[in-house]
């Protein structure tokens, strides 16, 4: 069973994924990219994966059948395991608990070589509904505190399979980064009596220089304090702390926005590896006036080095104003 | 001039290094490795670098002469600049200040293809004295709050030049990671009336299973909550919060320890890229009973992916007990 361990000084939790148990010679470097009968995520290879949790396709489709558009499966090598109890315990001065949680794969398309920007609007909407539905389902498990949905595309972004997919990891503690954002949002709200993210959207739309794209429901912008070159955040214009409460017109507009922004990054930066991730409120803290869900998109252009590991500072060699200009100008 | 910008929600500062001003086509991927007359850090090419700050070599050596063993120079493309004032200011709802600080290179050897483990003990001691001396000198500048010394070795660790070197970045704010450690150490101390790092050393030496190596002054161990596979920390056995107060016998023993640990990582993991960094107390907070300087060594075997960026959690596929066993067993 995987194990959660707490750093005794900083309180940071980490996951020891003993099931993966990597020995020195096991660290490979690259993405497996074998389409056709070798790829477990390709159409027709449904039997190569664990049995699906949910599939989106023709109505009346039977479980694990081949006529799917989006398919959600348990990760075969999960970072956290769904069975058991937390069993918090000490170990001398240290603290540990069982690595309880969930780790699922959202296969975004039956086609091996498509990415989000060359899927149909409808297909991308299905992916977003899959994200929403999985949160609603897992939210019922009271042992879970957070669900992080994320995508690794390309080897520099940590992908190990090339077939387009995103992932979901549900954790039994609220992750540090999310806690920092929620707490920071609270401090801002207590001082201003306004949501800080709503203020950002207002200021950015009025300045314009860091805005990448906009539609009725969403704005895409390069944040003022971008950690990475060409980092883009997509935020809903209407205040909401909970991604899982997204409405149908928002799903339609978010699909268009994600296709557009990822497409712009691909064309501007010559098909970079990238990550995106959804930040939403912790499962047991919904309807927060001080938090605002959003998607962070991070193209992998630079490497995190000793200075960043040691300081938590990031050095960004491209001002977000310039990045936004390039992204606005492309196609 | 580079600029420091503060994230309005989390308070995280980032550096916009506008002098580097990278356009989309400027992101290269790899290490420049041209020895001989092309490498600015090689012996005889002293004129290719900015004039040295300090050089260690034969006594009576003149500045920028070729008979050096360790050489400290200003970074030609500094992330932070030494001239000017902070000039903290608002920008609508945002906060920024000038990117004031220092960015120096410590060239570790005149030889292009050596690394720390195949230098003589004396040469490594010189590197450590250079670190110490630079901190003592820069500490006089009251505009600075922290000095981070770190090394990027290999392209996966963010190095851009192959010639062995480490770096120093002095910042006008205490970095977030350091603040978290110092504050966490304080909380532990307030509760236990003991230094948490001293407790870690005691528990690890008595358990033994995560200890990699030990000598009179230092212990090397894989931390209980290692973020990365084969992460190793080197800690002085005697309590001290300030690296710059290191004594001569400690420098001798630290040189031996660093050579041994980096050598073990190289042999166990087939010459991985790696980072190391020194965590020491903030410049204006010396002699802390609750903080303990140490060196963190991180081999680059896995890639940081969407889950880590979004959560601040790390997934470590190798238990530190196993990593320590492999490292103890080699040579």
Q: CA-CA distance, B90 to A199, in Å (whole number)?
A: 15
Of all residues in chain A, the one with the smallest CA distance to B155 is A303
pLDDT at residue B173 tops 90: yes
Q: What is the pTM for the complete model shown? A: 0.95
The ipTM assigned to this model is 0.92
- Residue B181's SS3 state is helix
Read off the pLDDT of each residue in B264-288 and give the average, rounded to a whole number: 96
Do A317 and B277 count as a contact with CB atoms less than 8 A apart?
Answer: no
Q: Which residues contact B52 (CB under 8 A, 6 or more apart)?
A: B46, B63, B64, B71, B72, B73
Residues A131, A261 contacting (CB under 8 angstroms): no
Within 8 A of B13 by CB-CB distance, chain A residues are 225, 313
Domain boundaries, chain B: 3-173, 177-329
Does domain A177-329 sit in CATH 3.30.428.10?
Answer: yes
Q: Is A287 left (phi over 0), alpha (psi -120 to 50) or beta?
A: left
Closest Cβ–Cβ partner in B5, B279, B296 for A224 = B5
Q: How many angstroms separate the Cα of B308 from the Cα of each of A109, A146, A151, A214, A277? A: 25, 14, 11, 28, 10
Catalytic residues of B: 165
Of all residues in chain B, the one with the smallest CA distance to A226 is B14
Closest Cβ–Cβ partner in A18, A146, A188 for B9 = A188
**pLDDT tens figures, B219-248:** 999 999 999 999 999 999 999 999 999 999
**pLDDT tens figures, B11-50:** 999 999 877 668 888 886 566 777 767 899 999 999 999 9
Percent above pLDDT 90 for chain A: 82
Do B275 and A175 count as a contact with CB atoms less than 8 A apart?
Answer: no
Do B184 and A313 count as a contact with CB atoms less than 8 A apart?
Answer: no
Q: CA-CA distance, B135 to B127, in Å (whole number)?
A: 13
Do B24 and A268 count as a contact with CB atoms less than 8 A apart?
Answer: yes
Do A12 and B298 count as a contact with CB atoms less than 8 A apart?
Answer: no
Structure tokens given for A291: 């938090």
Q: CA-CA distance, A143 to A123, in Å (whole number)?
A: 32
Residues B255, B125 contacting (CB under 8 angstroms): yes
Mean pLDDT of chain A: 93
**pLDDT tens figures, B87-99:** 999 999 999 999 9
Indicate the range of A57-61, B256-260, B283-287, B297-301 predicted with least confidence: A57-61
Q: How far is the alpha carbon of A219 from chain B, nearest alpha carbon, in Å?
A: 18
Structure tokens given for B268: 């166990």
Closest Cβ–Cβ partner in B93, B225, B317 for A7 = B225
Within 8 A of B307 by CB-CB distance, chain A residues are 79, 148, 150, 167, 169, 277
Class of domain B3-173 as given by CATH: alpha beta
Give the per-residue pLDDT at B31: 67
A vs B, Cβ pairs < 8 A, gives 286
Residues B186, B168 contacting (CB under 8 angstroms): no
**pLDDT tens figures, A96-135:** 999 999 999 999 999 999 999 999 999 999 999 999 999 9
pLDDT at residue A51 tops 80: yes
Q: How far is the alpha carbon of A68 from chain B, nearest alpha carbon, in Å?
A: 26
Structure tokens given for A123: 């297909």
Within 8 A of B92 by CB-CB distance, chain A residues are 203, 207
Q: Look up tokens 């799903």; give the residue.
A: A251
Residues A273, B303 contacting (CB under 8 angstroms): no
Q: CA-CA distance, B70 to B62, in Å (whole number)?
A: 14
Provide the Cα torsion B284, B288, B291, B296; round to 10°: 50
Catalytic residue among A163, A165, A279, A294: A165
**pLDDT tens figures, B124-169:** 999 999 999 999 999 999 999 999 999 999 988 888 889 999 999 9
Q: How far is the alpha carbon of B265 from chain A, nearest alpha carbon, in Å?
A: 10
Do B306 and A24 count as a contact with CB atoms less than 8 A apart?
Answer: no
Closest Cβ–Cβ partner in A158, A272, A314 for B14 = A314
**pLDDT tens figures, B97-120:** 999 999 999 999 999 999 999 999
Percent above pLDDT 70 for chain B: 97
Give the per-residue pLDDT at A25: 80
**pLDDT tens figures, A27-42:** 865 667 777 678 999 9
Q: How far is the alpha carbon of A61 from chain B, nearest alpha carbon, in Å?
A: 32
Read off the pLDDT of each residue in A182-193 and give the average, rounded to a whole number: 97
Give the residue from B36, B21, B30, B35 showing the smallest Cα distance to B77: B21
Do B313 and A13 count as a contact with CB atoms less than 8 A apart?
Answer: yes
Residues A287, A241 contacting (CB under 8 angstroms): yes
Task: Compute the Cα dihedral for A174, A175, A177, A178 and give only its sign.
Answer: negative
Indicate the range of A86-90, A274-278, B294-298 predicted with least confidence: A86-90
For every residue of chain A, which 3-state class applies, written as one string?
CCEEEECCCCCCEEEECCCCCCCHHHCCCCCECCCHHHCCCCCCCHHHCCCCCEEEECCCCCCCCCCEEEEEEECCCCCCECCCCCCCEEECCEEEEECECEEEEEECCCCCCCCHHHCCHHHHHHHHHHHHHHHHHHCCCCCCCEEEEEEEECHHHCCCECCCEEEEEEECCCCHHHHHHHHHHHHHHHHHCCCHHHHHHHHHHHHCCCEEEECCCEEEECCCCCCCCCCEEEEECCCCCCHHHCCHHHHHHHHHHHHHHHHHHHHHHCCCCEEEEEECCCCCCCCCCCCCCEEEEEECCCCCCHHHHHHCCCEECCCHHHHHHHHHHCC
pLDDT at residue B175 tops 70: yes
Element (H, E) at B269: helix B248-269
Number of C-beta neighbours around residue A83 at 10 A: 7
Strands B315-316, A13-16: parallel, antiparallel or unpaired by DSSP?
parallel
Read off the pLDDT of each residue in A178-204 and give the average, rounded to a whole number: 97
Within 8 A of B293 by CB-CB distance, chain A residues are none
Cα B73 to chain centroid distance, Å, stands at 16
Do B15 and A275 count as a contact with CB atoms less than 8 A apart?
Answer: no
Common-topology check for domains B3-173 and B177-329: yes
Closest Cβ–Cβ partner in B14, B181, B318 for A313 = B14
Do B312 and A188 count as a contact with CB atoms less than 8 A apart?
Answer: no
């Amino acid at each position: 069973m995987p194990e959660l361990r707490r750093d005794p000084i900083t309180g940071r939790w980490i996951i020891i994924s003993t099931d993966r148990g990597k020995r020195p010679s096991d660290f490979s470097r690259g993405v497996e990219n074998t389409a056709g009968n070798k790829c477990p995520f390709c159409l027709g290879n449904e039997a190569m994966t664990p049995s699906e949790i949910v599939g989106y396709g023709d109505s009346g489709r039977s479980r694990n059948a081949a006529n799917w558009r989006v398919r959600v499966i348990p990760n075969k090598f999960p970072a956290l395991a769904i069975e058991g109890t937390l069993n918090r315990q000490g170990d001398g001065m240290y603290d540990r608990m069982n690595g309880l949680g969930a780790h699922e794969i959202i296969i975004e398309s039956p086609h091996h070589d498509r990415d989000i920007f060359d899927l149909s609007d409808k297909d991308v909407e299905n992916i977003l509904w899959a994200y929403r539905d999985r949160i609603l389902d897992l939210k019922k498990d009271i042992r879970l505190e957070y669900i992080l949905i994320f995508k690794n595309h390309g080897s520099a972004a940590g992908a190990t399979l090339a077939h387009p997919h995103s992932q979901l990891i549900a954790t039994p503690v609220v992750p540090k980064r999310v806690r920092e954002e929620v707490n920071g949002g609270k401090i801002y709200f207590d001082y201003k009596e306004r949501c800080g993210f709503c203020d950002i959207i207002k200021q950015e739309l009025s300045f314009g220089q860091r805005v990448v794209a906009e539609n009725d429901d969403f704005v895409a912008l390069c944040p003022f304090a971008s950690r990475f070159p060409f980092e883009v955040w997509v935020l809903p214009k209407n205040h909401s702390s909970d991604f899982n409460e997204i409405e149908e017109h928002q799903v339609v507009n978010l699909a268009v926005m994600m296709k557009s922004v990822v497409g712009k990054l691909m064309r501007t930066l010559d098909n970079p590896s990238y990550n995106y991730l959804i930040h939403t409120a912790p499962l047991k803290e919904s309807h927060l006036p001080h938090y605002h869900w959003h998607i962070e998109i991070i193209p992998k252009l630079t490497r995190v080095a000793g200075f960043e590991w040691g300081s938590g500072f990031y050095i960004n060699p491209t001002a977000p104003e310039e990045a936004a200009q390039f992204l606005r100008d492309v196609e």
